[in-house]
Structure formats: structure tokens, C-alpha cells
A and B are shown apart, each in its own frame.
Chain A
Amino acid sequence: EAGVTQFPSHSVIEKGQTVTLRCDPISGHDNLYWYRRVMGKEIKFLLHFVKESKQDESGMPNNRFLAERTGGTYSTLKVQPAELEDSGVYFCASSQGYTYLAKNIQYFGAGTRLSVL
């Protein structure tokens, strides 16, 4: 079974440009999460989808970030326009459920390393 896949693995862009990150969750996982880790700091929650709906987007830093999950399958995270402080590693994770522990285990992708110059 394929795990969570993220694309690209690394993106280098200039300040002001737009970048779109993609995440393909494990097949059958309704729950999809985006996280970000800035160098040396904690992994910060960005948002949580249940199927195509945003269950919780309280972690999105500002309106330059837009996440979508059309059709409830893969998800994209767009940053427009990118700023220097957006640099970091963006992780995507998926899980079967999110309220019952046994189904809440999140499986993470390898992440996308975003470098904004």
C-alpha cells in the first residue's frame, strides 16, 4: 500500500512568487492534515480536512495560504505571494479517523522543503 506522498520534495522560489504543494493521502483516509516546521522549531498544525471539508483551519498563518481538497482525495497548499518567513518543511499526514485513538494515527509524508529567497 502506498504511503502519503508529497510533491515536490524541494522547492526554491523567490519572494513574491507562488508555490503549490501537493499531497496524496493514503487511499481511504478521509482525514488529511497539513503541518509546517520552521527550522529548529516545533511542528505546527496548519489545517485539517475531513474529506473535502475544512474541519479546522485555525493554524493557517494568514490569507496568503490557501488549501484545497477538491473531491476529497489529494490536497494542494498554495502560498501566494511567498514571503521569506514561509521557508520551512511542509508535512502532510492522513488518518482514517480523528476522534478515536486507534484510527487517529497519522501517517506522514516525507515533506516538501520550501526555500523562499
Chain B
Amino acid sequence: GESVGLHLPTLSVQEGDNSIINCAYSNSASDYFIWYKQESGKGPQFIIDIRSNMDKRQGQRVTVLLNKTVKHLSLQIAATQPGDSAVYFCAGSQFYFGTGTSLTVIP
């Protein structure tokens, strides 16, 4: 079956630095991947998505990279801010989520 997981359960970065959150998947049949951000007390919120035929997609301060060869994707956050502190999930098109990476931004 499909699995989507994250490399690190926690990540701490200094405010202003760039953050990189990684995710691995096992099912190559996923048509797309989505990154979600979950703040404390809230449900996951959509950040950015990428189709499986793309390698890179940029949003506002965020970039997602997809490496289909090694079945890996990453979320890069530029100039990390305290408001970026949250749990980040990657999900495939079959409604599978990873365990999440908890990002803490140190002021």
C-alpha cells in the first residue's frame, strides 16, 4: 500500500533562516502531492501542491521540490518567521498523510 512519511519529527530553525522539510513516499502512482500546515488547535491548511510531472513549484516564500527518482519531496520555507511554527504534513493523491514534522522557529 501507499505510505507517505517524513524524515524528521521535529525541526528547529533560527528566525530568518531557511527551513527544509522532507518527505518520502512509496507509491509512484500519486498524481500530485500537497503540503499542509497545521497550527496548534487548528486543522491542516493547504500550503502548496505539485503535480507528479513537475520537479519544482514556487509559492510565496515556499518552494516544493519533487524527486521522482528517489521518491522524495521537500518543502523549503525562505526567511522562516515565528508564524511558520507548526506541524507540516505531506500528502499524496490517495489521501495518505505522513506523520508530520513539527517546525519550531526560534526568535
Residues of A in contact with B (beta carbons under 8 Å apart): 4, 33, 35, 40-45, 48, 56, 91, 93, 101, 104-111
Contacts and interface: CB of A to CB of B under 8 A. Distances in A.
Contact of A4 (B9, B36, B43, B49): B43
Given A42-B97, A42-B100, A105 B34 contact: yes
A110 B42 contact: yes
Interface stretch (B11-19, B58-66, B72-80, B88-96): B88-96
Given A105-B34, A110-B41, A45 B46 contact: no
Contacts of B96: 45
Given A42-B99, A43-B97, A104-B93, A109 B49 contact: no
Task: Determine the interface band of chain B, counting residues with CB < 8 A from chain A.
Answer: 20 to 34
Contacts of B34: 105
Given A93-B43, A101-B31, A43 B49 contact: no
B29 to A, nearest CB: 13
Interface of B: 4-5, 9, 31-32, 34, 36, 41-46, 49, 51, 89, 93, 95-100
A111 B46 CA distance: 15
B99 A41 contact: yes
B86 to A, nearest CB: 13
B41 to A, nearest CB: 7
A101 B49 contact: yes
19 contacts: A4-B43, A35-B95, A40-B9, A41-B99, A42-B4, A42-B97, A42-B98, A42-B100, A43-B100, A45-B95, A93-B43, A101-B31, A104-B32, A105-B34, A108-B43, A108-B44, A108-B45, A110-B42, A111-B43
B51 A101 contact: yes
B51 to A, nearest CB: 6
Contacts of A104: 32, 93
